[in-house]
Amino acid sequence: MNEPIKTYGTQDAVIETLSLTTSIDNTPSGTLIYTQTGTWRKVMSLVPELGTRSEYFQNVEWKDASGNDHRADLILKNILQTSTGGGTAFKITLTYGAPDLIVENEDAQLPSYSMATEEGTASILLHPRYEGISEDAKTIAKALLEGKSRNDLVNPCWAQSGNMTLTDAQAGTGVPFDVVIKKIIPAGSRAEELIRKIESGIREYKTFGVVWQETTLKSGITSALTTLATVSTPPGPNPNVGKRNWLYVGAEATKEKGAAKWKITRKWKLSDAAAKWDKDLY
C-alpha cells in the first residue's frame, strides 16, 4: 500500500508495509515500514519515540495464554533504520507491541489480596515493655500522666483515694518523692524506667496496626455482613502472626449495572502485640 504517513506530518514518507500479527503466546504485534527521503538527521528526527502509540494500532483486542481478554493501544517497542537510494532515502521499520502489565479484565485476576499498615498512638502505660510492672507502679504512672504533682503522690489522702498499698509511713506528708519511689519500686526496674520516661515528657508511643484485605466475586453480600466483628483467620497467603490474631472489621461491596456478581473487599485487622482479640467479646 502506498499512502502518506499522516502521523509524522511529512509529504515524502510512504508506507510500504502495515501489518498486525499474533505471536505463539497470543500477544499482538504491529509492524509499520515506511520510506522517507532526506538527510539522515532529518529522517531520524521525525521517527516517533519508543513507548508512543500509533493511529494504526489502536484498541487492539486479544486473549492471553490464560484466556483473559485484553484491549489496548499498542506502543512502539523497536526501531530499525536502513539506507536506500544512495543515502538520500531511508527505510524505517517500527515494531509495536502490547503495553506491559495490561489487565483488561480485572475480575479475571480475583481473588486478590493486599496488606497495609495503620499508624496510631497509645499511652506509654500500655506499652508491652511495662506489662509486668506492679499495680502500685501503674497507679503512680497513671497519676503522673493525669497531671498530678509530686506533692500529690506523697500525700496520704491521695494514696488512700488512689487505692495504693502504701502505708502512711511510706507515703507520709513531706516524704520526698524519690524516697517513696525507692520504697515501692525497685531501683533499675522497668517500673522505675517508666516513671522516669513519663517525667521526662514521654507520654505516648507510636503503634502500627496491620490490615489484610481480600477482594473477590460473590453472588450475594449476606455472608460478608453476618460475620462482621468476629475473630477469624483471613483467607489467602496472610503472614505468620505468632501469638496475635485477626478480627474481621469491615467490607465494601460494589455491583456494576448488568453484572452477575458483587465485587466484595473484606478487611481483617491484626491484634496489638500486647494482646489478642478477645473471643468472648468478638
**Quick one: pLDDT at residue 106?**
54
Q: Do 143 and 249 lie in a common domain?
A: no
Cα(131)–Cα(43) distance, integer angstroms: 75
Q: Do 95 and 24 lie in a common domain?
A: yes
Position 226 in a domain:
yes
**Quick one: pLDDT at residue 177?**
64
Q: Do 143 and 191 lie in a common domain?
A: yes
Q: Do 165 and 131 lie in a common domain?
A: yes
- Structural domain including 265 reads 110-121+207-270
Position 275 in a domain:
no
Cis peptide before 186 (omega within 30 of 0): no
Last residue of a domain, one of 204, 238, 255: 204
Q: Do 43 and 158 lie in a common domain?
A: no
Position 230 in a domain:
yes
Q: Do 114 and 235 lie in a common domain?
A: yes
Tell me the pTM.
0.48
- The pLDDT tens digits for 125-135 are 989 899 889 88
Q: Which three cell numbers stand for residue 33?
A: 515500514
Position 24 in a domain:
yes
CA distances 35 to 13, 47, 57, 114, 140, Å, are: 6, 11, 19, 50, 87
Q: Do 15 and 39 lie in a common domain?
A: yes
Q: Is the confidence at residue 261, as pLDDT, over 70?
A: yes
Q: Which three cell numbers stand for residue 60?
A: 487492539
Number of domains comprising the chain: 3
Q: Do 25 and 98 lie in a common domain?
A: yes
The residue with greater pLDDT, 227 or 148, is 227
Averaged pLDDT score across all residues of the chain: 80
- The pLDDT tens digits for 90-100 are 888 999 998 87
Cα(241)–Cα(113) distance, integer angstroms: 16
- The pLDDT tens digits for 57-80 are 988 888 877 677 778 889 999 888
Q: Which three cell numbers stand for residue 86?
A: 544512495
First-residue to last-residue Cα distance in the chain = 72
**Quick one: pLDDT at residue 114?**
93
Position 276 in a domain:
no
